Amino acid sequence: MIDFQELAKKYSTPLYVYDFDIIKNQYKLLKDAFKAKKSLICYAIKANSNLSVIKHLKNLGAGCDCVSIGEVKRALRVGIDSYKIIFSGVGKRDDEIKEALKYEILMINVESEAELLRVELIAKELKKCARISIRVNPNIDPKTHPYISTGLHDNKFGVDIDSAKRMYIKAKNSPHLNPVGVHFHIGSQLTQIEPIYESSKIVANLVRELKSLKIDIKFFDIGGGLGISYKDETLIKPYDYAQAILSTLSGLDVTVICEPGRFLVGKSGYFLTKVLYEKTNSNKRFVIVDGAMNDLLRPSLYNAYHKIEVLNQNQEFSKADLVGPVCESGDFFAKDIDLPKTAHDDLIVIKDAGAYCFSMSSNYNSRARAAEVAVENNQDRLIREREVFEDLIKQEEKFI
Ligand SMILES: Cc1ncc(COP(=O)(O)O)c(C=O)c1O
């Protein structure tokens, strides 16, 4: 059991705490599920890009899925081998492509015909042959929140099957492109297996077709997306997930690459925040805390639900909004929930805050970002210092 009061006292609030043992268990569950085939788990750094989190996963054997050269550099900085790094994203800049090619990463996931030409051009300039995969958009509804749905033709991600075929043929005929992989990712926080299975079937058939064209795909990248329970969701079991994917791959000699983010780190995280004040405006009760939307954006952005626990003994409950100090009405963690009566400095724990929480944080309202702490084998350690005012003005000060 993590002693949140103790950690809040030691490191102050707002504070992120990550249980590294949970991350380890999640990694092992997933890796084990795919043991029937060659597999590589490429952690999606965007979920939580703290260097110590990435290093923890690297030590377990993970590679990384990156969506900017910054993320590629984070992976390299903690010692992830370049042959375990994938670079995805719909809008890669020339300088990012150039650097990725110089680092000799495993492959660049190409998301449009225009990007394929760009990668070819840059590889030619560098006298290199770029290892690529193509992100196929299978046009399957993943049945998740529209903001994190990516596998439909009206989403900006990937290309349709016919364009993908054209692109593979183009790549095969270019001395500067080496099509080694295929990629799809239909969305995040997935809780239904059928869309994943259907997508995998479509993409596996493409791989078979490519094989008949003498295009030999070695890496079958199924993206990420496995959901976690924030409330009471029914979840896909890692074993069933792997079985569904593997059942579509008969006869194909491919390495399965999986790019989980949320599944690996989501349940490990806790956001600790303290009560500043209570107030009531024409019968509406607000509990105002020292954390805010700049620290944890998901409720404001997606109306996302997080379990919330107030660590006091008070049994007098009533409805309240839990809000931060930022000057936006959208700055809330929850609305109209039952909360006990609180006092100044009462500690509140917001759960399942390991994924897309700190990594989406900002300095909005000139608020310094929270500190981050890891707990492993019952030992806690700081993995990111709390920002101070000087950090906020570092890039501006010399111009005044
Ligand atoms: C290409 C790609 N791979 C992996 C992920 C990770 O998704 P998740 O955190 O749901 O596993 C994302 C998230 O958006 C993504 O876009």
Q: How far is the CA of 370 from the centre of ligand 1 (A)?
A: 24
- What is the DSSP secondary-structure string of 79-108? T--GGGEEE--S---HHHHHHHHHTT-SEE
pTM (2 decimals)? 0.96
Q: In CATH terms, are 4-15+267-388 and 20-264 the same topology?
A: no
| CA 190 to ligand 1: nearest atom | 10
Per-residue pLDDT of 31-81, as tens digits, reads 999 999 999 999 999 999 999 999 999 999 999 999 999 999 999 999 999
CA distance 84 to 353: 26
How deeply is 351 buried, as exposed, middle or buried, from its count of CB atoms within 10 A (0-12, 13-18, 19+)? Answer: middle
Structure token digits, residue 140: 């399957």
Ligand 1 near 135 CB (within 6 A): no
Q: How far is the CA of 67 from the centre of ligand 1 (A)?
A: 10
Q: Which residues pair with 65 in a beta bridge?
A: 44, 86
Does any ligand 1 atom lie closer than 6 A to the CB of residue 177? no
Query: Ligand 1: does its nearest atom lie under 6 Å from the Cβ of 269?
Result: no
pLDDT 10s digit of each residue in the chain, 400 long?
A: 999 999 999 999 999 999 999 999 999 999 999 999 999 999 999 999 999 999 999 999 999 999 999 999 999 999 999 999 999 999 999 999 999 999 999 999 999 999 999 999 999 999 999 999 999 998 887 776 766 666 666 677 789 999 999 999 999 999 999 999 999 999 999 999 999 999 999 999 999 999 999 999 999 999 999 999 999 999 999 999 999 999 999 999 999 999 999 999 999 999 999 999 999 998 899 999 999 999 999 999 999 999 999 999 999 999 999 999 999 999 999 999 999 999 999 999 999 999 999 999 999 999 999 999 999 999 999 999 999 999 999 999 999 9
Give 267 Cα–ligand 1 centroid separation in angstroms.
Answer: 16
Sign, CA torsion 93/98/104/108: positive
- Residue 108 to residue 394: CA distance in whole angstroms: 33
Taking phi over 0 as left and psi of -120 to 50 as alpha, with beta for the rest, 365 belongs to left
Q: Which CATH number applies to 20-264?
A: 3.20.20.10
Name the residues annotated as catalytic: 327
Ligand 1 pocket member 262 (CB < 6 A): yes
Cβ–ligand 1 distance for 88 under 6 Å, the answer: yes
Which of 183, 229, 259 maximizes ligand 1 atoms within 8 Å of its Cβ, making it the mutation to test the pocket?
259
Separation of CA 270 and ligand 1 centre (Å): 21
**Helices of type H across 192-282:** 194-212, 238-246, 262-265
DSSP of 265-309: HGGGEEEEEEEEEEEEETTEEEEEES--TTT--HHHHH-----EE
Where are the domains positioned within the chain?
4-15+267-388, 20-264
Backbone angles phi, psi at 279, to 5 degrees: -150, 160
Specify the pLDDT at position 203.
97
CATH class in words for 4-15+267-388:
mainly beta
Written as one string, the DSSP assignment of 93-148 is -HHHHHHHHHTT-SEEEE-SHHHHHHHHHHHHHTT--EEEEEEB-------S-GGG
User: Which residue's C-alpha comes closest to atom 16 of ligand 1?
Assistant: 185
- Cβ within 8 Å of residue 157, ≥6 positions away: 90, 111, 135, 137, 150, 151, 185
Instruction: Record the tokens describing residue 126, joined without a space.
Output: 């560098």
Pocket lining: 263 vs ligand 1, CB cutoff 6 Å: yes
Say if ligand 1 is within 6 A of residue 224 CB: yes
* Helix axis angle, 238-246 to 194-212, nearest 10°: 30
Give the integer Cα–Cα distance in Å for 296 and 360: 7
The candidate with the shortest Cα–Cα distance to 105, out of 87, 127, 125, 124, is 87
Candidates 289, 276, 202, 264; CA nearest to 60 is 264
Q: Ligand 1, atom 5: nearest CA belongs to which residue? A: 224
Q: What is the pLDDT of residue 142?
A: 72
Angle at which helices 20-33 and 238-246 cross, to 10°: 30
- Size (the chain), residues: 400
Nearest ligand 1 atom to alpha carbon 135: 1
Alpha carbons 163 and 177: distance in angstroms, whole number: 16
